[in-house]
Amino acid sequence: MSSVERIAGSNERVATRQESRGTTALVLGAAAVLMMACPFLPPPVPIWVRFLPVYFIVPTGISAVVSGIITLRRMRGQEEADRFRARAGVVLGTAATVIPLAVIVWAIWVLNQAYK
């Protein structure tokens, strides 16, 4: 194997690795958003399957945001890198973090107004 073939082979591996960046953030963000729908599953589904994932929505969303931001920072100087997955993970993770916290703040406000 010549040195040119070795360089071409190593460039292919690097390109394959760069394409897969951001997948972790995207998967974590999508999982966090899907966990928000678990309480709305039909009643025949066991109750632990419906409500256990609720406790993991915010940590999973925060993990998606952190993972996506780290991936975007690593891709900073690479113009050919595809940033779509990392950005989508950040957006989904942010939504999965902000929506439940907004609902909790709203519920606290409503309960305080009801007992005044």
- The 3-class secondary structure across the chain, one letter per residue, is CCHHHHHHHHHHHHHHHHHCCCHHHHHHHHHHHHHCCHHHCCCCCCHHHHHHHHHHHHHHHHHHHHHHHHHHHHCCCCCCCCCHHHHHHHHHHHHHHHHHHHHHHHHHHHHHHHCC
Going by pLDDT thresholds of 50, 70 and 90, the confidence category of residue 80 is confident
CA angle (14 as vertex; 10, 15 as ends), nearest 5: 115
pTM over 0.85: no
Read off the pLDDT of residues 3-50 as tens digits, 9 standing for 90 and up.
656 666 655 655 555 556 889 999 999 999 999 999 999 999 999 998
A 10 A CB-CB count for 48 gives: 8
What was the pLDDT predicted at 14?
56
- Identify the pLDDT of residue 1: 60
Question: For 60-74, what is the mean pLDDT?
Answer: 95
Instruction: Please tell me the predicted confidence (pLDDT) of residue 19.
Output: 57
